Structure 1
Amino acid sequence: MSSVSPETSLNAVWKPVLLRAAVAAVFGAVTIFWQDPSLAVLAVAGGLYFLLSGAAVWIMSRGRSLASARRLFIVEAGLFVTGAVLAFIIPTAVGFTVAAVIALGGSGVVELVLWAKLRKQLAVARDWLVTGVVGVGTALFLPLFVQLQAHALLGVVGGAAVIIAVFLLIAALTYRHEAPTRAVKA
């Protein structure tokens, strides 16, 4: 059991959760409004999405309140960065699919493990069930769209990003709102 109070935990995580939501929202918007993306757009936009998502996870790992999960967060950040590197260096539909399966599927599995281990100790851990399922689900279904090329791949990953963005935005704003309230009541 963590010795950090719930309000300290919420104060520590709302900013990185909001950052990850913003990254996902921007990527989701790009995928919605880019009408005819090339493989280069797929590689760069997807790679940046994975890289910045990994950065947000790494920032979250630095918080004291989540020290018990730091190793798993670093693994998750590493999976996102690995996906980014692969997307950048293999700018093909298959390359992006492999990169996304590693980044989204791998991070989803890590988040499901974090949820299972910490859901009773940390409020933020309950969100990892949704983000984990979305990541794993996207990784499982994305290979079915590889022959449809960049537009379809961006659409599938972008759709998942929009779901993650909305969910994490609500979570981050809730944490921001509840953290001081809980501290005052305690």
Structure 2
Amino acid sequence: MDTKLLELTTKRLYLRAANPSDAEDMLRYLSDPEVMKHTGMEPFETTEDVLDEIKWYHSLVKEDSGIRWGITLKETGKMIGSCGFHNREPKHFRAEIGYELSREYWGKGIASEALQAVVRYGFSHLGLERIEALIEPDNTASLRLIEKNGFLKEGLLRHYEYGRGRFDDLYMYSILKEDLAFVEEGSA
């Protein structure tokens, strides 16, 4: 995998491929029950769990089904979350976006900064026309983040996913390439 193609830079962040050397940083947030609460997965328990997650990130690129960046702070190089695409359907020009962020960085605009860079990359480099976000109704922080960044709610998918011993309803949100242009013009 050519990780040079995966690097994104923002004002405060460096988005790059996750590596085994990031496992300890990643375990800090992936083991936090509050961070994992709305992911449909149990909190991670070991670095081996994290290494499996890193393998999955790399498999997304290899299989052309997505791409996942580790979110690192420019000033420290510490990995504090991830953001990227999965369930990519190249023939339909769409993908689903997902993200998580270490709790100590919530409410600082970091998730928004990473999300904006990833969405722009999806439209400009992956040729996406549509980016989807599936969010649990009680994940209010994620709902605010997505809406603030121009995604529109399309509806409720009832019992759409099964995880952690239960069926979850998910809101379907999307942003189209033409919506991004409108959002960026409105913020200028």
Q: Give your verdict on TM over 0.5.
A: no
| Larger RCO (alpha carbons 8 Å, 6+ apart) | 1
TM-score (norm 1): 0.30
TM-score (norm 2): 0.30
Q: Which has the larger radius of gyration?
A: 1
Between Structure 1 and Structure 2, the one with more helix by share is 1
